[in-house]
Copies of this chain bind each other. A is one copy, B any other.
Amino acid sequence: MDDEARHRDRMRRKKELIDRRIARATIDRGVLVVNTGNGKGKSSSGFGMLARSLGHGFRCGVVQFIKGSFSTGEEAFFRVFEDGPLSYHVMGEGYTWETQDKARDIAAAMAAWEVAEGMLSDASMDFVLLDELNIALVKGYVPLDRVLAVLLARPSQQHVVITGRGAPDELIALADTVTEMRVIKHAYQAGIRAQKGIEL
């Protein structure tokens, strides 16, 4: 057997193993998904899952612990569904994570977290996206222990997606599905700024 054939054979056996494990997966319950790492796609993947959930007629909630006060495409798009199955909350207007007023930052993060807690204790809420929560955890503005306790106690069928760099180890341990978005390259390295529809 030549190298290529050996490689194909190994890949085939690996695929069979994964297929068997997937076939054995029969449990239905709410999953906790964490998107972390330095690469692109953490938030956009969360919003893609939100679209899927809305497509299935789910009741959904979003809290954005965002880093800027800019208005984004995803907000403009999903706000339309607020009269129906979607609750959409953006952390304190004009909030930038760049203020020198740490007490104000903590208050804004905690106020957003309290909105999230309301969603995470509401059994009629099928899907909750906590966009960029990890930055608030890394900075210690929202206490990790409290977040873990609330996630553990949430309704058993509720899906939760948490995004942001630097997901704490304890959150990764609790999660069902964790992806590290790894940068291979990024357009800004070639002088291209953030583009509407892609980053904004």
Contact = CB atoms under 8 A, between A and B. Distances in A.
Contact of A27 (B72, B76, B193): B193
A149 interface: no
Contact of A55 (B35, B41, B75, B195): B75
B25 A51 contact: no
Given A26-B191, A188-B22, A73 B56 contact: yes
B51 A41 contact: no
A44 interface: yes
Interface in A22-57: 22, 24-31, 33-37, 39-56
B196 A52 contact: yes
A166 to B, nearest CB: 10
A177 B182 contact: no
A103 interface: no
B189 A185 contact: no
Q: Is the interface of A mostly helix, strand, loop or mixed?
A: mixed
Contact of A47 (B42, B52, B159, B200): B52
Interface string A74-94: 111110000000000000000
Contact of A179 (B40, B53, B176): B40
29 contacts: A21-B189, A22-B188, A26-B193, A29-B192, A30-B195, A34-B184, A39-B179, A40-B45, A40-B177, A41-B179, A44-B46, A45-B48, A46-B48, A47-B48, A48-B51, A49-B197, A49-B198, A51-B73, A51-B74, A52-B198, A55-B78, A126-B197, A159-B197, A176-B185, A176-B192, A179-B181, A179-B182, A180-B182, A180-B184
